[in-house]
């Protein structure tokens, strides 16, 4: 294993604005890493989704299927000027919380997991980790999460000093709000903000999936920037994070490159919150942005009041983000002094239309990351 940083790579942790995106490994056939558009610096960081620990030993595992895909992604990202960083996203929505709960519950198992993540990162030339634990189920697990972050940060600092290599990044994908308050998310609990503020480089707040197939009584914008009727909105969630003590520059806003659909009760009533009777087109009512833009004969509406878009035809309805709502949200992040934004996920955008909105606005120019210092 080399003990010196790779030529042309960042020698210190990233500073400035994050323009990130998750790269789902299952999209490899349709979006080979060589096809990712890096030409306008759309991205500063990519998150490889997903890898997981062994449920018994808690060692992080890179499967034989992951190995070549990850290698291709790292090669494509690092061979850019400036290079794009690649982080391993550990977990994901489909992974049972029991593994993370068991791992984080004792110092010994936390230590083994942490040690294995550092070894895997160095072996695969990645730039850090993104923990996607969805989600600690109670206050005790939140305490253990804070301990995990603290011990992880100490370990990567010590490894960097001992090896002479740049420090690995440490981030986490988190609920849109610092605290859980929606029905079905009981018991009420909050993230360990003090540990997050001290130990993480930033958090990726998942500002989407506010509404969906679990509630078919009315249409809803699943990633609304604002909601005058409730706290279920991106603005509320991000404010809860900054109010909890996490520095603004460590809060990164999530943007979806997909929409959620409903079947309207009455074709004549088609606004946000219109009565519905079930899910609309797409698998479980989910449509990628590429699929939404391929719908023929649908009427598209941009709603500045919620910072979102929707489209309808007959009794079909879908709420999503378009280029205008993405631009509005990115501007919001700039004004609030946030750390940037990320997309879920590469492979869902159409010709990088959404991905380029931040650069098109020329936002955050005073804080653009310099990878060469």
Residue 308: beta bridge partners?
Answer: 303
Q: Out of 119, 134, 263, 300, pick the active-site residue.
A: 134
Q: What secondary structure letter does DSSP report for 255? A: E
> In the annotation, is 134 catalytic?
yes
Q: Quick count: other Cβ atoms within 10 Å of Cβ 1?
A: 7
DSSP conformational letter for 254: E
List Cα–Cα distances, 272 to 88, 220, 229, in angstroms. 37, 6, 12
Nearest to 46 by CA among 23, 63, 28: 23
Dist CA 204 CA 73 (whole Å) = 20
* Residue 192 and residue 143 in contact, taking contact as beta carbons nearer than 8 Å: yes
- State how far the Cα of 111 lies from the Cα of 176, in Å rounded to an integer: 28
Tokens matching residue 38: 């890096």
According to DSSP, residue 166 is labeled P
Active site amino acids: 134
């Amino acid at each position: 294993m080399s003990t010196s940083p790779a030529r042309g790579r960042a020698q210190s942790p990233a500073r400035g604005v994050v323009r990130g995106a998750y790269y789902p490994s299952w999209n490899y056939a349709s979006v080979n890493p060589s096809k990712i558009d890096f030409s306008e610096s759309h991205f500063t960081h990519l998150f490889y989704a997903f890898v997981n620990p062994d449920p018994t030993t808690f060692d992080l595992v890179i499967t034989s299927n992951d190995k070549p895909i990850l290698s291709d992604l790292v090669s494509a990202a690092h061979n850019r000027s400036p290079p794009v960083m690649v982080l391993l996203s550990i977990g994901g929505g489909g992974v049972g919380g029991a593994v993370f709960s068991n791992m984080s519950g004792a110092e010994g198992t936390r230590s083994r997991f942490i040690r294995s993540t550092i070894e895997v990162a160095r072996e695969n030339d990645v730039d850090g980790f993104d923990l996607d634990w969805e989600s600690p189920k109670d206050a005790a697990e939140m305490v253990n999460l804070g301990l995990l972050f603290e011990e992880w940060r100490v370990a990567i600092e010590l490894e960097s000093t001992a090896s002479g290599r740049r420090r690995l990044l440490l981030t986490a994908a988190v609920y849109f709000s610092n605290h859980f308050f929606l029905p079905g998310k009981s018991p009420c609990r909050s993230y360990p903000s003090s540990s997050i503020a001290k130990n993480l480089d930033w958090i990726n707040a998942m500002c989407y999936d506010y509404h969906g197939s679990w509630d078919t009584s009315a249409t809803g914008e699943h990633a609304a920037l604002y909601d005058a009727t409730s706290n279920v909105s991106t603005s509320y969630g991000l404010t809860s994070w900054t109010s909890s003590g996490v520095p603004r520059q460590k809060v990164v806003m999530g943007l979806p490159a997909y929409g959620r659909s409903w079947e309207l009760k009455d074709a004549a009533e088609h606004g946000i919150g219109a009565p519905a009777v079930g899910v609309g087109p797409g698998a479980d009512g989910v449509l990628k942005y590429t699929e939404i833009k391929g719908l023929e004969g649908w009427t598209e509406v941009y709603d500045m009041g919620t910072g979102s878009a929707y489209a309808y035809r007959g009794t079909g309805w879908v709420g999503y983000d378009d280029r205008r709502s993405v631009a509005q949200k990115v501007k919001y992040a700039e004004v609030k002094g946030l750390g940037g934004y990320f997309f879920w996920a590469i492979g869902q955008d159409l010709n990088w239309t959404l991905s380029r909105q931040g650069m098109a606005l020329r936002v955050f120019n005073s804080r653009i990351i310099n990878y060469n210092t």
